[in-house]
Structure 1
């Protein structure tokens, strides 16, 4: 019997880099089943026979992963269920199991009532038009209806993942560290991984709990690192690592409580990788510090600024063959010695490998070049307005004393003593702003220049700086 047409899922869940929405409001099992059927149909078109499916620790995960598997199998594509694992283990499964395709059912660092899908087909991360194409398949009923459903089987890849990382990463000395998993899915494997590497652990919130009862699992926000800072103060641990809700992003805190943001982490990673890959290209997104490119050049590397977004960075990594890439959000992509996907756990392991060879890990981190800077600031607007505002800035705004205006992804204005950035988020209706300067006076001047420019193209906004 031919299965009936699917109801069209809500258009707003089809985001730039993934599918995401509020569970049982717009992201329903029926919607995910329809998306699974479209994804399975696209897999058939690409000659893909099987898709690995993993899920994070959210309460809605089992039902949505089951609906996804039903949809994929309706197209005659096999599903390999790898259970409740971090997103990087789902990516790893695509390599390890030889299927080259996977889906992680994850809400990442979003609130507990969200969930979503991060999708890879034939080694390609789906983003942009490829995600919209799934919606068009459902709308047009352009779906493969197989005579018999694809097979469903289970696989456990955690042991193989631990073996692979522990076989690759070697610490020069034992280290005592704090790890904070924020009750995200990384808690199910991070303690075992870092013990395998020879670490003594102070564990914070490593019990997987999809209600996130302690703090939000987003290490890019300083308020979510306060427990790590306290644990470093109260114990003899020398470093703190924190992971986001699905384990693909890393946060780092020094012994004395300083947060080492990802663009400075990338300095250490670049120095290490370039010692083995002379002249290698290092990719970073537009939100990163202006001190990163000179650091890479001084070590013989080729710095490449690129668009923000894990899928976009992965595509650039594949295109260029670069050995390393990183984003200000905390996604790190190692192609040298690894597979090129973003993995907060592996990034943490590589960081420990570097720091274990130093007598003072705290000093090694604090000695990295730094500036006066703001965290990401969000200007909330209505849907569609952030793109319009940034478009107006590109067309008509004038910036005093600007040395260069970069319009790769939003508007990044380089000054002699700092930079300012305004870019529309691809995931939420906000303009992301970030500022950096050599001193507080320069920072204030650059912010004033941006305030004037924004007010000239869109008066009346309440700016977050």
Structure 2
């Protein structure tokens, strides 16, 4: 069967429904996953879906494909992606697929996949495409589909472990994603007074896009937190694996500063442990983690890559700038979960009378948002490789090339890396002061222009 190769991305499978990602393609992918399960001696896969309109038909096609190969399915229905990850631990399969478009526009959908306790990414995803191209032979005995409730044990697990020191007033913005009902139930049971925003699941996303990494999507939450008696605001992305946080003054606490709060808390119980962060995070993390008795450990960007690093190092916590936060301490089994991260942040902040003051006191710097240089498909990777080879910075304190090129100075950093999901070069720059940032912009921009004068810089 011929399938549009563009849907096989670095970290997931994703495409436009009925165009690049069809029902037939999804069934074929299910068959390839069933064959892979057999190779790994896995006899059952968990399957869940988010709130997108195409979710029911695509998840059914996926399950049909899996059972074609004689593999059983535990269907958990419409749930956030982290609940699917939890299901793989609960059932002991270590394997499952979330049918989700994550934070992409409504016409998209896709698959996030785990097999034998490992996240499928990169070559693992390309191997599925190869397998489909070769053809697959169905099993003479079809697998069975069993519907199970995972939401109840998921909520019970969190509420039996996370304890708030006092009631806390919080606004929760779910952006009409799949987290709405479960977020309301979770935070009510934890002892929160909730002001709900867009908690009804609606695959059209009529109010704003469910992506808390973009400030525009937090506008209503910011206004609500500033104008009512709530103490802070939490926002979740479309499938619930990322967290956004807003303070009483309307300040967005970006994930690299959230990492600081979590690292300080976790290192109290895990002294000397590594804390993982990705290359896009603030350099202020390094002294903070050291001061709190941890080992700062930088990692390539991408939730699948962070999970692999987490498994390799057995770190108790990891986070990345996009909002994926991974708790791998004795309390939680190492997957990214925005809802659980929201519960843990409230647990920490409920110990104080002024949560916003605690958050706003976390070290910060002057930085750019994520900036993009758009390029032709594949050109971004070649360009970044050229930068790695040709750029020289004699005035830098460090040059890190694990993922693009990150140049560190005494008072800031500049990053250029190739996106693994779109044909762009991703830039992020930071300075301790406005003056430092402007100097670093000029220094880094001039260096890029020296390599290719035709590049149009976004700063």
TM-score past 0.5 threshold: yes
2:190 is aligned with 1:189? no
Distance 2:404 2:272 in 1: 29
> What SS does structure 1 have at the residue aligned with 2:28?
helix
Counterpart of 1:361 in structure 2 is: 355
Counterpart of 1:290 in structure 2 is: 283
Distance 2:12 2:447 in 1: 32
Counterpart of 2:211 in structure 1 is: 218
- Pick from 154, 167, 173: which aligns with 2:166? 173
> What SS does structure 2 have at the residue aligned with 1:63?
helix
2:137 is aligned with 1:164? no
TM-superposed CA distance for 1:438, in Å, is: 0.8
TM-superposed CA distance for 1:449, in Å, is: 1.5
Counterpart of 1:461 in structure 2 is: 455
CA RMSD of aligned residues (A): 0.9
TM-superposed CA distance for 1:397, in Å, is: 1.8
Distance 1:110 1:400 in 2: 41
Compared CA separation, residues 65 and 193, structure 1 to 2 (3 A)? same
2:94 is aligned with 1:100? yes
Contact 1:399 1:449 in 2 (8 A): no
CA deviation vs aligned residue, 1:413-436 (integer Å, no higher than 9, x gap): 001110000111101111111111
Distance 2:448 2:53 in 1: 42
TM-superposed CA distance for 1:447, in Å, is: 0.8
Distance 2:452 2:405 in 1: 15
Contact 1:400 1:449 in 2 (8 A): no
Distance 2:283 2:445 in 1: 21
Distance 1:202 1:350 in 2: 19
- Within a 5 Å distance, the mapping from 1:56-455 to structure 2 comes to 56-141=50-135, 143-336=136-329, 337-399=331-393, 401-455=395-449
Distance 2:398 2:296 in 1: 17
Distance 1:96 1:289 in 2: 35
TM-superposed CA distance for 1:144, in Å, is: 4.7
Contact 1:20 1:117 in 2 (8 A): yes
User: What residue ranges of structure 1 are gaps of 5+ in the alignment?
Assistant: 1-6
Distance 1:160 1:122 in 2: 21
- TM-score, structure 1 length as denominator? 0.97
Contact 1:177 1:241 in 2 (8 A): yes
CA deviation vs aligned residue, 1:101-146 (integer Å, no higher than 9, x gap): 11000010000011100000111100111111101111122x3521
Counterpart of 1:4 in structure 2 is: none
CA deviation vs aligned residue, 1:288-342 (integer Å, no higher than 9, x gap): 1101011111111111000111111111111111100000000000011101000
TM-superposed CA distance for 1:400, in Å, is: 5.8
User: What residue ranges of structure 2 are gaps of 5+ in the alignment?
Assistant: none
- Pick from 17, 32, 42: which aligns with 1:38? 32
TM-superposed CA distance for 1:380, in Å, is: 1.4
Contact 1:8 1:135 in 2 (8 A): no
Distance 1:339 1:270 in 2: 16
Distance 1:134 1:280 in 2: 36
- When structure 1 is superposed on structure 2, of 95-104 and 169-178 the one drifting more is 95-104
TM-superposed CA distance for 1:359, in Å, is: 2.0
Contact 1:85 1:188 in 2 (8 A): no
Counterpart of 1:3 in structure 2 is: none
> What SS does structure 2 have at the residue aligned with 1:283?
strand
- TM-score, structure 2 length as denominator? 0.99
Structure 1: 4+ residue segments shifted above 4 A: none
Distance 1:426 1:291 in 2: 25
Aligned residues: 458
> What SS does structure 1 have at the residue aligned with 2:427?
strand
CA deviation vs aligned residue, 1:37-57 (integer Å, no higher than 9, x gap): 000000000000111100001
TM-superposed CA distance for 1:463, in Å, is: 1.7
TM-superposed CA distance for 1:286, in Å, is: 0.4
CA deviation vs aligned residue, 1:42-81 (integer Å, no higher than 9, x gap): 0000000111100001111111101100111111000111
TM-superposed CA distance for 1:176, in Å, is: 0.4
